[in-house]
Amino acid sequence: MEFNKAKDRNSVIKAYNMLLYFSGSMIMYEPVEECVIDFWSKGILKTLPVKSSNPRFVLAASQLRESCMDKTICKTILQEDFGRLIMGKGVPLAPPFKSNYIDSLIKEESGAERVTDFYDSYGWKKRLRYNIPDDNLGIELLFLTLLLDKYIALDDEICLKEMRKEIRRFISNHILSWLPEWNERMQEYSRTLCYKGIATLIYACCEDIYGFLGETKPEISLPTEFKN
């Protein structure tokens, strides 16, 4: 699919934002019954709003299609995995925090930008209402969706170019810098295909967006039902 028109470009970005909202919420909050009904029982995850040639995206789609086959126990196993992996009574097996994977002291000594500084540079204060640390993956994904929303609202090519750089810089420095290790833990320790698929999907979406806004664009298309 050629993305010469702003409408096509924005449709793709909106589709990825939908996936980031879904996956980010599954990282920030314990799954509830409504989540299972909306995403699994209604079959929304059977057909994702975008298609990509990225092997990691293809794998994520497969994992999610095969996940939660027994809807009667879906919420229970999702909550169990959430507690074991992300936020439970014990030490989480795959904590979704950048600071768990990158030594903060080394980062400070090297003068590297903190993710908090990136948020503050955009005046993003609403994150504080979530009462979740700034380096939580869910918060990072939420901020990424806000950057993408800003991007599709622009129509000046110079501004678009600068925003593309900013989005790619955020993904590179604050997400992909530690996401591979987190994903490895999720694949190893998750007992459900649900959270394996969610982790793979996050990784793939960030890779795709980074490429899509760069010089070399991945092969991406929109399913017919999601085209405007």
pLDDT at 108: 53
Domain boundaries, the chain: 6-226
Reported as a single tens digit per residue, the pLDDT across 51-60 is 999 999 999 9
Give the H or E element holding residue 220: strand 220-221
Reported as a single tens digit per residue, the pLDDT across 128-181 is 889 999 999 999 999 999 999 999 999 899 999 999 999 999 999 999 999 999
Alpha-carbon torsion 60, 63, 66, 67, what sign? negative
* Residue numbers in the chain where pLDDT is lower than 50: 1-4, 105, 109, 226, 228
> Which one, of 81, 78, 82, lies nearest residue 33 by Cα?
78
pLDDT at 228: 47
pLDDT at 106: 54
pLDDT at 1: 40
Strands 220-221 and 51-52: antiparallel
pLDDT at 183: 97
First to last CA, the chain: 14
pLDDT at 217: 63
Pick the CATH number of 6-226 from 1.10.3720.10, 3.30.160.620, 1.10.3480.10, 3.90.1150.10: 1.10.3480.10
